[in-house]
Structure 1
Amino acid sequence: MTSTTHQPVLPAGEPPSWWERQSDLIMRRPINEFTFTHMNWLIPTERVARGHATRSLPAAPLPLDLTYRYDDTDHTIADLHRRTFTTAFVVLHHGTIVHESYPGAFAGPRTRMQLFSLSKSVTSVLIGIALAEGAIGSVKDQVTDYRRDFRGTAYDGTTLADLLDMTSGVGDLETWDGSDSFIRQFERAVLSGGDVAAIIRRAPRTADIGERFNYSTFDAQVLGWVLEAATGRSLAAYASDRLWRRIGAERDAYYGLTRSHPRTAIGAGAFNATARDLARVGLLMANDGIVAGEQVVPADWVRRSRGADLPHLAVGALGPSGYDHYGYANQWWTLGESCFQAFTGLGVHGQYLFVDPVADVVIVKCSAWPTEDDPARDHETITALRRIADHFA
């Protein structure tokens, strides 16, 4: 959630190679409308298989003839799509699709969308399931209980709860500026076959454990590795059996993998799924973890994702790596009681899974912003999504 630019720093006189420029090329408009819907053409992947039975989402389409006020001007939902480069938009109310549109040039109901850091919220759901099954003992367990290769690193002594709330104290402000930041090293390793785990093990401690919030892709990536170590299964295989089949997904999803061997899923930012299936995940969270009478995710885990009692995770208290209208809890961004306990998953370039459990509204918005983060577009989007939830409430 930091302000980013994607300009590689190269030695004078040396033209950038494909490997050095590939992330810039696939992220740039208008190319990103294609790449964000075809990531399986660009990187190794592992399938998250759906089950034999699809759980239908009934449809009762309604026109969204409403406006939201932003920057002292009234805007329509069509304005929102144009101004924030929407590619897919699905609204559920009481589990029914009341609005669905695909403004993106390559998007449709069967299109798998690159969800970037919204993947972190999916990882949190899987952690909750693993805790309920006993594969993971407790959120008080330490990283090194599952990944001994992190002994002696800055992650030694951190608990899963610290990772879930991004209060590990490991790493500095996550920024894409320059070429030597840890997140840029991580990205290059993912795309070019470097040692991703080695980069994370080198990350320094910059704060005491539990002292402050610092948005961290590394924290979320380590969570995914802990889950794989605890269950003895790949992230994709576990997600298929424990989540995707049980929500009745329409299509297989997939994780993007590293190019290095052994390949590993980028659980912190490379989950790809259709907008409808992502809406099914939101419906699960809106319904206290229940699907068709089955408790898929523990209810207390879902409620943990709606907000924390820790002052440094409260709305407006996150500091430089969060926006003022967000708090944080359990790999989800919280919006506070004034928004009916709503919370949202977020991904760069404008990916949203907005859940309002009181209004029983779920909204999926996928986008292709020109830049990774955009405070103005984010604020406008959240203003519009709140307005839609209020409308149906």
Structure 2
Amino acid sequence: MSEKSFPWRRFLPQSALLVMSLSLFACGGGSDGSSPASIKLPALSNLFNWTQAEKVVGFSHSAEILSTEPFKSSGNPGNLPDAASAVAALAANTVYQYGKNPDGTLRTNNTVDDYMNHNKISGLLVIKNGAVALERYAMGMDRNTLWDSKSAGKSVVSVLMGAALKDGSIKSLDDTVEKYVPELAGSAYQGVTLRNLLHMSSGVAWNENYLDSRSDIVAVINCVAHKTAGCILNHMKTLARAKDANTGAPTAQGTVWNYSTGEAFVSGLVVQRATGMSLSKYIQSKIWQPFGMEADGNWWLESDGGVSFGGGGFNATLRDYGRLGLFVLNNGKLANGTSVLPDNWVTDSTTWISQSAVPGYADNGSYGNMWWFNPAYDDGVHNASPLFTNIGAPLQNTTVPTGAVPVQSRGPVQDQPGASSDWTFMAIGVFGQMIAINQRENLVVVEWGVWDKPDPHCCDSTDPTYIANNPYNEEAIFVNALTEALH
């Protein structure tokens, strides 16, 4: 796939402008030889050159770097048992085809360990039928580590907006933004619906390029780094409506998809204004305590005592990420049957909007209400194996009640009815953060990562062990392999 095929992979960096020294304590040294004794977090402008050890510290120490607000567990964690030994063995022994060996032959026997090593995974959790089938940590992480979601936190904001809609704090997704954030009246966001805000199809111009010092995302992250109250909203007020490159006409909302961390921040602000609670307090009251999370977490704040940062910055333990995945998998229902989300919220959130379509890859779209569709597309030889799995049809969210309806323009291969990834939706964050959920297979996969580079074209193709030019692809293939192994 070309770089143009992935314009929507955007990156939420750790925002620390000050040089700080942090003791790693439980964190081990990096594979690059960095000493675990003291890691200095560099300036924001150097984020993409952080060593692996610096990322490990930065991603696991948000509360020591930024302003954060805790959300508390109930002290009575919900049951998360271990899976039967036979199921655990299936997960542990999962293999998948991807890339080539140094001699040019296909790599058909990649293992879970290979996956963790390839993708620099610090935590991996697989929950099948409500039980832990696989749980692994690396780089000094453990069950007590709080890890930064990066942009996977946007999907959490989407869940909280659903909760606010269910409890009546938000009246309708057809409400316009300024109803809840009146400061945006008279701006390019006036009249933009909450639905189009969630879809990131507001029609407002936004530059998410981290390599551009003048970009909007850099301006917003600088607001957080400097802990400046009101800074992000002030920036959002300055944005102009995008224009059609050919006609110069203003872009109408709902017609063009453009990934924007700023719009996730505004979505989080809508939830806070509507409920009268910070994101931390709201998730604590609606999900964290009622669903029985086992540990406290925290969420970035724009400034000391300021508003929550809805663009990311959600921090929790690996197992509580898994429990959050189970909450969504179960359509937002608590153990007592109480529904926290509207009945169709998860289905609506994972109905991919056509504006985000990537022809030949995700013809029906790759984005919903801040959730991703990330199908595998290449196992190294453009011959889908084991990308496609016989798990039954129809595919996720198809309007056809029977039969296979392939999402990609290509038809199903190897006489299989559909791709397992077509049933999987994901919360995705830069550098390898993921919550993958497959309701049909009753499967949740959580991943923490410290990829070398955030850009999909991450690797050196001259390396004889080169496996692919897009880590998101291996991620999807691995999830598919787990889906097949545990089916």
- Same fold by TM (over 0.5)? yes
Opposite residue 22 of structure 1, the aligned amino acid is A
8 A Cα contact 2:371 2:426, kept in partner = yes
Cα distance change, pair 226–185 in 1 and its aligned pair in 2 (3 A)? same
Per the alignment, residue 3 of structure 2 pairs with: none
Cα distance change, pair 355–236 in 1 and its aligned pair in 2 (3 A)? same
Q: Does 1:348 align with 2:430?
A: yes
Q: Where do 1:251-262 residues align within 5 Å?
A: 251-259=295-303
Distance in structure 1 (CA, Å) of the matches to 2:374 and 2:223: 34
Post-superposition CA distance 1:339-373 (Å, at most 9, x none): 35210000011100000100111000010112233
TM-aligned CA deviation for residue 262 of structure 1: 5.3
Distance in structure 2 (CA, Å) of the matches to 1:168 and 1:108: 40
Distance in structure 1 (CA, Å) of the matches to 2:256 and 2:324: 29
Higher alpha-carbon deviation: 135-144 or 26-35: 26-35
Give the secondary-structure state (helix, strand or coil) at the position aligned to 2:367. Answer: strand
- TM-score using structure 1 length: 0.90
Give the secondary-structure state (helix, strand or coil) at the position aligned to 1:215. Answer: coil
Higher alpha-carbon deviation: 333-342 or 177-186: 333-342
Higher alpha-carbon deviation: 295-304 or 106-115: 295-304
Give the secondary-structure state (helix, strand or coil) at the position aligned to 2:237. Answer: helix
Cα distance change, pair 58–325 in 1 and its aligned pair in 2 (3 A)? farther
Distance in structure 2 (CA, Å) of the matches to 1:2 and 1:377: 11
Per the alignment, residue 331 of structure 2 pairs with: 288
Opposite residue 220 of structure 1, the aligned amino acid is A
Per the alignment, residue 193 of structure 2 pairs with: 159
Post-superposition CA distance 1:222-263 (Å, at most 9, x none): 01101111011111111100111122101011001123x652
Give the secondary-structure state (helix, strand or coil) at the position aligned to 2:97. Answer: strand
Higher alpha-carbon deviation: 161-170 or 171-180: 171-180
TM-aligned CA deviation for residue 118 of structure 1: 0.6
TM-aligned CA deviation for residue 97 of structure 1: 0.2
Opposite residue 69 of structure 1, the aligned amino acid is Q
Per the alignment, residue 484 of structure 2 pairs with: 390
Find 2:235's aligned residue among 199, 202, 209. 199
8 A Cα contact 1:342 1:355, kept in partner = yes
Opposite residue 281 of structure 1, the aligned amino acid is L
Higher alpha-carbon deviation: 226-235 or 296-305: 296-305
Counting matched residue pairs gives 377
Cα distance change, pair 181–324 in 1 and its aligned pair in 2 (3 A)? farther
Per the alignment, residue 330 of structure 1 pairs with: 369
TM-aligned CA deviation for residue 66 of structure 1: 2.0
8 A Cα contact 1:171 1:204, kept in partner = yes
Distance in structure 1 (CA, Å) of the matches to 2:144 and 2:97: 32
Opposite residue 63 of structure 2, the aligned amino acid is N
Find 1:37's aligned residue among 60, 74, 77. 60
Per the alignment, residue 147 of structure 1 pairs with: 181
TM-aligned CA deviation for residue 169 of structure 1: 1.4
Find 2:165's aligned residue among 105, 112, 131. 131
Higher alpha-carbon deviation: 368-377 or 32-41: 368-377
More strand by share: 1
Q: Where do 1:274-313 residues align within 5 Å?
A: 274-292=317-335, 293-308=337-352, 310-313=353-356
Unaligned runs of 5+ in 1: 7-15
8 A Cα contact 1:48 1:254, kept in partner = yes
8 A Cα contact 1:325 1:335, kept in partner = no
Opposite residue 301 of structure 2, the aligned amino acid is L
Give the secondary-structure state (helix, strand or coil) at the position aligned to 1:170. Answer: coil
More helix by share: 1
8 A Cα contact 1:249 1:277, kept in partner = yes
Find 1:180's aligned residue among 204, 209, 214. 214
Cα distance change, pair 324–347 in 1 and its aligned pair in 2 (3 A)? farther
Post-superposition CA distance 1:48-75 (Å, at most 9, x none): 1111321020012513212112234222
Distance in structure 2 (CA, Å) of the matches to 1:80 and 1:145: 46
Find 2:95's aligned residue among 61, 67, 81. 67
Find 1:57's aligned residue among 73, 76, 80. 80
Opposite residue 370 of structure 2, the aligned amino acid is Q
Q: Choose 1 or 2 for highest CA Rg.
A: 2
Opposite residue 155 of structure 2, the aligned amino acid is S
Distance in structure 1 (CA, Å) of the matches to 2:268 and 2:359: 26
Higher alpha-carbon deviation: 330-339 or 204-213: 330-339
Distance in structure 1 (CA, Å) of the matches to 2:332 and 2:12: 37
- TM-score using structure 2 length: 0.73
Distance in structure 1 (CA, Å) of the matches to 2:220 and 2:480: 34
Unaligned runs of 5+ in 2: 1-7, 21-40, 100-105, 243-250, 376-394, 396-418, 458-469
Q: Where do 1:203-222 residues align within 5 Å?
A: 203-206=239-242, 207-222=251-266
Structure 1 vs Structure 2: percent identity of aligned residues?
28
TM-aligned CA deviation for residue 76 of structure 1: 1.3
8 A Cα contact 1:289 1:297, kept in partner = yes
TM-aligned CA deviation for residue 303 of structure 1: 1.2
Q: Does 1:22 align with 2:43?
A: yes
Cα distance change, pair 114–65 in 1 and its aligned pair in 2 (3 A)? same
Distance in structure 2 (CA, Å) of the matches to 1:183 and 1:55: 37
Per the alignment, residue 10 of structure 1 pairs with: none
Per the alignment, residue 11 of structure 1 pairs with: none
Give the secondary-structure state (helix, strand or coil) at the position aligned to 2:431. Answer: coil
Per the alignment, residue 230 of structure 1 pairs with: 274
TM-aligned CA deviation for residue 23 of structure 1: 2.3
Q: Does 1:264 align with 2:285?
A: no
